[in-house]
Chains A and B, each alone.
Chain A
């Protein structure tokens, strides 16, 4: 089984690939290498993986709408500030339907309708606009989006969960990092391949030397969250100790970062070799990432079929 790399291990692997010293003056301190890894992850591998359209990185948040709410903020971790899908519910168990993505100029056509929103459009970088606006308080909106992987930080800046003491408290294996304060928000992610997000945006209730209690439930009982497990990492919001990529891509990530260093180093010969290796690795990984359900190929529903109609509540697929 391929190894799952922590950020620390990736830093070391990157240095090995690029034959870099661990020295700030040479631009290859830990922070420098992490910066290169994150750049490679966000600019190279994240879009490359998303290009397979196999639902990597997709998460769903549930937003409770208020009466007459028109604007819904975009999830702050949405990659490319785009969303994957919107589902409108009147109750948690009652799916009203998918909202259609329309252009803003079509909104007046929908505004005339009354009742629950049936469509949305984007406005700027921050919002999507429900059309028509939500009428009834308590309606729900399930927002699916491509969550940007957490920015890689050294394990020392995170805490590894030793035990889950209650629905809100965990105990770390060692003292919590000094950067952890009660005023900040936290994410918890898995230590396994993909570093799946267990919970995010957690706020602190109490902060001990090596225990932390959150205001939110961490037992997975809240929609969009998953139960925290021993071995998971607690990180500052938006950070991660393990790259949010399939584990097979972890060495590729290090190679990609090494290529960046070779480029910066102006070592053209090494850059050429490193780039060739990166391309070879990417090619080889394609077969791993594509067609995630190999025995059951994705079923394609034509949008022009008879049952399809604008604004219907049927599924896209």
Chain B
């Protein structure tokens, strides 16, 4: 005789991949909605999220953590949390993400915030400041002339060189150097006198008052024909004034002889060399910090082109820079006129001098012309180069190419056409290239500090730091950069078979990179790749079928909770992520959260998760007080206004409060299970009547004598639903008689519990039993005997036991569902028990 047995099932999380009645492990679940499995074998309700602070204007496009403060990109405006309560204050400027496929990403280094934008890397050094382009601009052109004839230090028959460097000390006392200008030299001919040198140099567009310039010069050479070399020593460091900025140039008379020269220029051959000139960070789609270097991926430098002047243009010949509708014309004249865009065609010297000076005039006019805000130019002929070499570049990165044309094509090399775009700039960018800053200098990224990674056809999607490796996620696979310093950095392919599919899903968790890949959700560490989403592979594959999943899917890393949370659409029609796939790597269990979310971040200081609501324009803050009141277990608290206060007698014959109130919230519908609060008064909502026009009448679970008309708060419950895999009692082919299902709770903290069932035999929808537990209302309010004496201990848990509905008693497999949707209530399900008696090997009574 078959004896009824009670099978116990714990919690192993979502298991949609396995055959649910043969290969799924004990405790496997098919639905674990809005739950977590953070304790081995225990299914618990997730914590809630509440509205945080003020409403945003358009909604957050990105979240950042800077100085333990939440930063949001609200549309194109960056805002910071000014008071730790969500009072947002805007930073000046508008900021767009690098491109349509990449959100703004950030890193905090040297106490500064660095983040990617559509025009390059920006930084902010203080919450109360506003972001500026990271790094310092390169020094531009200069004019060197002999002054103070006969009374200076610069003797006849000598030559000398100068370079200009712009620097800044930011709010965190971090000194930032720009790249030095090209070297310019001055000859004091043998027939000359001992003079001083006047230096006039151009200020780049984005230096500001308070920045510094430093003038470096070489020591004098042995003769006027001897090159002074490239060892520059500092002449002076001075702060730029607003007057300087207004003028656009600085004039400095160098009156000190060599004995007064100061420190060496950092690009001297005895220092870092010119190859380590601190150029600004390039445009990048990703940024991170590893081994003291700031790393940039998928980079682009400024568009630039170098040309050489071969012969002096005729008067009124033009040199034109064109980019789309922006056409800048520079005309050759006998007299330089910067405002008019007229450069001087030099004809009084030797051929070489004429070419040099004409080119430098053109460069000067380009750099100083106020009508030009797009381009900069350098004279780049070196000691051994022919004269007349000019470099023209965009001031900012990630801009469109520009082309050059001229009246007389043969004046230039390459020959410049009179029209068209055959001679155009390039940005030297490569989607397979990473760049890194100097050590502990995030804003100094020498052009030489770039490394290609794999095929140039394959884009770098993300770079993420581990303890000993920088993981590079490319379209073609996973690469690993290892080493301790620039001298031994090595890039190797780590796993060519794993390809990142959604860039925003890649995060670092537990010293590994987690992401959505062609292998599912994977964990990548320094030794290789491991698939972690095997148990939910059908669900993950479904995500990949959505048209916009690459840009809408994103993930949050939650170190203290040991969670990887991947937010995705729930259908192709969804225009934002609606569900979060939650994996606890310690319990190795998956669950599912439902929330309309566009971005997420765990703030380092508070260790709370912040989410940006997709259609409520609010930031949501995780409720994380660990309070015994279970205050954490409800979602948004929404404002409402009570207009009528009365009482009624409920179906149990008790007198309860009946309130009429006005309430507006489009994202969710007010219903039973919500929580009503007004000051110290709070109660669950038993029923809701929609009166229309945003008016509702709610019946509470109890009578609240202190409630008055006016403002109140309605909190949304977290609807949790758990469905275990069909129970087959060891043999899915035999018929069975299921009689009872029992859910064992750790404590009686959930008052309204629903246990539903369905079977393989019956296509009817779930049949639900509701089990109500008298809540602990406090001393004197709870019926005698239901709680421990004095109500000072947790209520002892009793199993939630329901008979299986007749419709579901005879079957081969039984599915059990637990649901709970009451605000401010938690549950911890220890196990599911099912009483079953197998009796026959028959699977179907009669053919259908």
Contact = CB atoms under 8 A, between A and B. Distances in A.
B806 A20 contact: yes
A18 B1 CA distance: 18
A15 B806 CA distance: 8
Interface stretch (A80-88, A209-217, A264-272): A264-272
A266 B764 CA distance: 24
Interface string B243-283: 00000000000000000000000000000000000000000
A266 B842 contact: yes
Contact of B1 (A16, A20, A25, A269): A269
Interface string B830-848: 0000000101111011101
Interface stretch (B307-315, B575-583, B616-624, B755-763): B755-763
Contact of B810 (A26, A268, A269): A26
Contact of A267 (B737, B806, B811): B737
B848 A266 contact: no
A55 B780 CA distance: 68
Interface in A1-35: 15-16, 18-28, 32
A26 B737 CA distance: 13
Given A19-B809, A25-B761, A26-B762, A267 B848 contact: no
B434 to A, nearest CB: 61
Given A21-B809, A22-B762, A265 B845 contact: yes
A15 B841 CA distance: 21
Contacts of B810: 18-21, 26, 265
Nearest to B735: A265
A26 B839 contact: no
B839 A27 contact: no
A50 to B, nearest CB: 30
A23 B759 CA distance: 11
Interface in B601-637: none
Contact of B808 (A21, A24, A261, A268): A21
Contacts of A267: 735, 737, 839-840
Chain B CB within 10 A, most for which of A21, A22, A23, A28: A21
A269 B839 CA distance: 8
A21 B761 contact: yes
A25 B844 contact: yes
Contacts of B841: 266
Contacts of B1: 268-269
B2 interface: yes
A269 to B, nearest CB: 5
A266 B839 CA distance: 7
B807 A22 contact: yes
Interface in A241-266: 261, 264-266
Prevailing SS type, chain B contact patch: loop
Interface string B805-829: 0111111000000000000000000
Nearest to B839: A267
B806 A26 contact: no
A265 B839 contact: yes
Given A16-B806, A267-B735, A21 B846 contact: no
A204 B737 CA distance: 49
A134 B661 CA distance: 90
Which range holds the interface residue count of chain A?
20 to 34
Nearest to B842: A266
B763 A23 contact: yes
B848 A25 contact: yes
B764 to A, nearest CB: 8
A288 B761 CA distance: 40
A22 B810 CA distance: 10
B811 A21 contact: yes
Interface string B742-765: 000000000000000001011110
Contacts of B845: 26-28, 32, 261, 264-265
A270 B4 CA distance: 12
Contacts, number: 70
Nearest to A12: B806
Nearest to B805: A21
Contacts of A266: 735, 839-842
A19 B806 CA distance: 5
A270 B761 contact: no
B327 to A, nearest CB: 78
Interface string A83-118: 000000000000000000000000000000000000
Contacts of B759: 21
Contact of B844 (A26, A32, A269): A26
B756 to A, nearest CB: 15
Contacts of A21: 759, 761-762, 764, 806-811
A309 to B, nearest CB: 58
B844 A27 contact: yes
B806 to A, nearest CB: 5
Q: Which of B735, B762, B806 has the most CB of A within 10 A?
A: B806
A30 to B, nearest CB: 13
Contacts of B839: 265-270
Interface string B157-194: 00000000000000000000000000000000000000
Contacts of B806: 15-16, 19-21
Contacts of A264: 845-846
Contacts of A32: 845-846
Residue with the highest number of chain A CB atoms closer than 10 Å, among B763, B764, B811, B846? B846
Contacts of A24: 848
Contacts of B809: 19, 21
B84 to A, nearest CB: 58
A268 B842 CA distance: 12
B402 to A, nearest CB: 73
Contacts of A15: 806
B93 to A, nearest CB: 66
A22 B837 CA distance: 20
Interface string A177-209: 000000000000000000000000000000000
Contacts of A26: 761-762, 810-811, 844-846
B405 to A, nearest CB: 80
A19 B738 CA distance: 10
A210 to B, nearest CB: 32
A22 B807 CA distance: 6
Interface string B1-31: 1100000000000000000000000000000
Contacts of B764: 21-23
Interface in B433-448: none
Nearest to B738: A19
Contacts of A18: 810
A241 B806 CA distance: 24
Nearest to A32: B846
A269 B837 CA distance: 10
Given A15-B806, A16-B806, A269 B2 contact: yes
Interface in B665-682: none
A19 B808 CA distance: 8
B69 to A, nearest CB: 59
Given A28-B845, A267-B735, A23 B840 contact: no
A23 B762 contact: yes
A241 B846 CA distance: 25
Nearest to A19: B809
Contacts of B844: 25-27
A264 B844 CA distance: 10
A19 B761 CA distance: 13
A312 to B, nearest CB: 56
A19 B837 CA distance: 13
**Which one of A16, A24, A25, A28 has the highest number of Cβ atoms from chain B below 10 Å of its Cβ?**
A25
7 contacts: A19-B806, A21-B808, A21-B811, A23-B762, A26-B761, A266-B840, A267-B839
Given A20-B810, A268-B1, 19 more contacts: A19-B737, A19-B810, A20-B806, A21-B810, A21-B811, A22-B807, A25-B844, A25-B848, A26-B810, A26-B844, A32-B845, A264-B845, A265-B839, A265-B842, A265-B845, A267-B737, A267-B840, A269-B839, A270-B839
Top 6 nearest A-B pairs (CB, nearest first) are: A27-B845, A27-B846, A25-B848, A266-B840, A19-B809, A267-B839
